Amino acid sequence: MNDSIKLLINPLKREISLTAKSNLLEVFLAEGVNIPVLCNKNASCGKCRVVVKAEASPVTEIEALSLGETLISEGYRLACKTEILGSGEVFIPVESREDLLESAYFGNELTAIRNKDFPYPVKHGIDHAGSDRKYLAAVDMGTTTLTGYLFDYGGNFLSNCSCFNPTILYGCDIITRITNLKNSDDFQKLRNSLLAEIKRLLNTLCFRAKGIDADDGQPTGPDSICKIAVCGNTIMQHIFMGINPVEIGLFPYRPVVKDLLHMNAIELKDFHIIGLSGDAEVVIAPSVSGFIGGDAVCGVLATGLHKSSEPCLLIDLGTNGEMALNYRGKIFAASASAGPAFEGYQIGSGMRATIGAIDFVRIDDESNIHYSVIGGVNPKGLCGTGAISAVSSMIKAGILNEKGHIIPPLMTGRIRKGSMVIATENETSTGRTIVLTDKDIELIQQAKAAFASGITCLLHAAGLETEHLKKILIAGAFGSSMDMESLKTIGLIPYKTDAEIVFVGNAAGAGIVMTLLCEDAEREAIEVAGAMQTVEFAFMKEFEDEFMEALFFRTNAIC
């Protein structure tokens, strides 16, 4: 064994030591260097690409297929398939940088709850006299994205940021993630990666809040937090608590813990990995069932769905596709497992809704393609909103058939059989085209069909039809360009609904912030969880039938 290999990671300018033949992705994970990983290290996502300028294992066949001749000749490798054999440099190209970036669209929800709409005064019961632990933090552990918010004692918002959920390494959807756990070591590794990433998230939140006072000798990282509230789907919450969630993936899908937990950090196994002080308060949101977790409860709490006097539906355009329907005092809740396409993942040119993401696409009458980019910079990829917008504009332009295939006649050089180039290599910051392919569209079809069929089945479970709906609340961290017309055109929400449609931002994030800041909200979250009943789509014949039908686009019903 040779321990003397040194690797310079650029542009981070970070030198690390490693053992010869180490897998590059494993090294990155151990060192906290984040790059996108959207498959189980089996080279199917092609996202973990880096440029290797060091002696390394030979290029595998699967890498050659995934990257193509040109990139291979430029030194590109898939980190998950590369073993480092000698010292040198690894460069992380712009498209593979997964830095903590404050999404342009996270935070809007805070404005809503911190203004006149916030239903409770701040009341967290913490005596902070003489304490140098001065922050309160909320973390929403989404299946694909972790989002954090930081506040002072008075409930004043200080900072927020988001990053990808590192447990995605074990599978894009949450069930695959737990079925990939072969033993308790695997579980521990997966959990450690989550806790370490939460530490990084909290560090960034504190650093942003503290700014120029960072050298005043007081705690600056997670140890300066006196209370943290956490929500996520039931499986993520179990992972956070240190409870192996394997049982939740098996019939009858029961969670080990459903109740809201309020404890000191010292009672949380391995709390030191997060960097919290042992006496920090930890609150974990209540869950309803194996498929309806604390994030769904927090979404209902924040939107006030449970108080609605009319039939009102909340859908979260996230990976798990949670939805809740309030009708006559009952809250019917379900999860439609949509996959991460709407969060900008899995699609070839996909990325999160951050700076550089195309979030709007329009095809004009002359078949020219127009787009807008978050931050007004050169585009780097396509976020979920941009993908929905692109598909909607393709349907309107008549270049997508019902099955989701891009169809001839070729209208411009950018629209080809099987793909549409949205931005050319000259326009992008990566030097690579941003393209939407038939394969990407298939993923979007599956995601929209999961929502559409889920909505129908949830309504039927409550004895309702589409026309009875009075309001649809759409939650999610998508771009400001998300519009109702696009969602109707692709068939995600019913074509013919007169319901008022309201975009509510990250409702789960808002709900966990409320739980953090106010004990009354914490109590109400428990009541909400008690009032929610799960509708299970697994094995439901109607859901299967509706799903198959919803896969098609209705090209003759353009909104």
**Residue numbers at the binding site for ligand FES (CB under 6 A):** 37-39, 41, 43-48, 78, 80
Closest separation in Å from C-beta 321 to ligand FES:
23
Q: Closer CB to ligand FES, residue 345 or residue 451?
A: 345
Closest separation in Å from C-beta 439 to ligand FES:
15
Closest separation in Å from C-beta 68 to ligand FES:
14
Q: Closer CB to ligand FES, residue 194 or residue 206?
A: 194
Specify the length of the chain in residues.
559
Closest separation in Å from C-beta 65 to ligand FES:
11
Q: Closer CB to ligand FES, residue 38 or residue 174?
A: 38
Closest separation in Å from C-beta 69 to ligand FES:
18
Q: Closer CB to ligand FES, residue 47 or residue 200?
A: 47
**Residue with the closest Cβ to ligand FES?**
80
Closest separation in Å from C-beta 140 to ligand FES:
24
Sequence-separated (6 or more) residues with CB below 8 Å from residue 450: 321, 336, 337, 338, 339, 547
Evaluate whether 166 touches 186 at the Cβ level (below 8 Å): no
In eight-state DSSP terms, residue 350 is: B
Q: Closer CB to ligand FES, residue 164 or residue 553?
A: 164
Task: Look at strands 145-151 and 135-141 and give their pairing.
Answer: antiparallel
- Number of helices (H) and strands (E), helices first, in the chain? 14, 24
Closest separation in Å from C-beta 200 to ligand FES:
20
Q: Closer CB to ligand FES, residue 70 or residue 309?
A: 70
Q: How far apart are the first and last CA of the chain?
A: 64
Residue 315 phi/psi, 5-degree rounding, is: -125, 140
Closest separation in Å from C-beta 63 to ligand FES:
9
Among 377, 316, 375, 387, smallest CA distance to 346 is for: 387
- Look at the alpha carbons of 312, 527, 458, 232 in this order and tell me if their dihedral is positive or negative: positive
Q: Closer CB to ligand FES, residue 80 or residue 230?
A: 80
Query: In 10 A of CB 42, how many CB atoms?
Result: 9
Q: Closer CB to ligand FES, residue 78 or residue 449?
A: 78
CA angle 193, 195, 196 (to 5 degrees): 65
Cα dihedral 47/48/54/56 (nearest 10): -100
535 to each of 238, 248, 357, 456, how far by Cα in Å? 21, 16, 35, 12
Helix (H, G, I), strand (E, B) or coil at 35: coil
Task: Look at strands 83-91 and 5-10 and give their pairing.
Answer: parallel
